[in-house]
Amino acid sequence: MDPKNYICPQSAIDSAIKIINFNSDGLVPAIAQQHDTGEVLMMAWMNRESITETLKNGLVCYYSRSRKKLWRKGEVSGHTQSLKDFRIDCDGDTILLLVQQIGVACHTGRQNCFFNSVVTDGIKVITDVKIDPKDMYNK
Amino acid sequence: MDPKNYICPQSAIDSAIKIINFNSDGLVPAIAQQHDTGEVLMMAWMNRESITETLKNGLVCYYSRSRKKLWRKGEVSGHTQSLKDFRIDCDGDTILLLVQQIGVACHTGRQNCFFNSVVTDGIKVITDVKIDPKDMYNK
């Protein structure tokens, strides 16, 4: 689906929210995957409000558990995620967001958050920092 | 890393567990991704014991929150997941498992669990059942 179509009607948003099994905190985990390469970028949490905003605007909005408020991904850094598809799993307790990542997904300046690989020696960092985090947050 | 190398030494398992931030239930979400195609197959939960078993054997073992016990993926259906890489994210609260899925990942008989797509009309099922679930569980 083209991102502009994610100016979703309220009826579609209601259908989505109806089949999602939110946890006792009203949250559901959401995986962000780069739509054209398949790279898994990050995992974060969404609530009803962030899902509604995401489907209405076509720009991914999470819920920050630490800050206890909506987390409009890229609001500070400019590294937004445009929504390409919004998928819900078989038992409604996980979301898969297919996105176009602008810039990098990880706050460390790496393209994705999963850079610690477990190898026989222990933990190996397998991807390089692409953008200095200082340049992402102190503009 | 070759799956056979995932007969990981205890020291590597300890290093992994040390940087994982388990939630208050002692669990961490784990995303399973098909290693060669990038297909996101499912998301489930792991605890220390299931992580240890997974890294020792090279076969993915989750923790079932509903059954409150280890869930050796594919133990009944034969649809196991061989571990190709075990990655931990930037803040240690999500795991990405790169796997070779034998058979299908979803209990509905679909290759992956994320078959409900939100479209303007509502929810559209976008993938077909590949194996009849009756043939997976009633052998």
Residue A134 in contact with partner chain B when CB distance is under 8 A:
no
Residues in chain B: 139
- Residue of chain B with shortest Cα separation from A51: B118
DSSP annotation of B133: H
Q: How far apart are CA A76 and CA A103, in angstroms?
A: 12
Tell me what the mean pLDDT of segment A35-56 comes to: 97
Residue A126 CB neighbour total at 10 angstroms: 13
Mean pLDDT by 10 residues, chain B (139 residues): 66 97 98 98 98 96 97 95 97 98 97 96 96 84
Per-position b or e across B71-108, b if 16+ CB within 10 A of its CB: bbbbeebebbbbbbbbbbbbebbbbbbbbebeebbbeb
For chain A positions 7-26, those within 8 Å of chain B (CB to CB) are: 8-9, 11-13, 15-16, 19
> Which tens digit of pLDDT belongs to each residue from A55-112?
999 999 999 999 999 999 999 999 999 999 999 999 999 999 999 999 999 999 999 9
Q: How far is A47 from chain B (nearest CA, A)?
A: 16
The residue behind tokens 């992956």 is: B112
Q: How far is B137 from chain A (nearest CA, A)?
A: 17
Average pLDDT across chain B, whole number: 94
pLDDT for A1 equals 45
The beta-carbon neighbor of A19 closest among B16, B37, B123 is B123
Can you tell me the ipTM of this complex?
Answer: 0.95
- Residue of chain A with shortest Cα separation from B107: A90
For residue B75, the one-letter residue type is: E
pLDDT for B84 equals 95
In chain B, what residues touch A58 (CB-CB under 8 Å)?
none
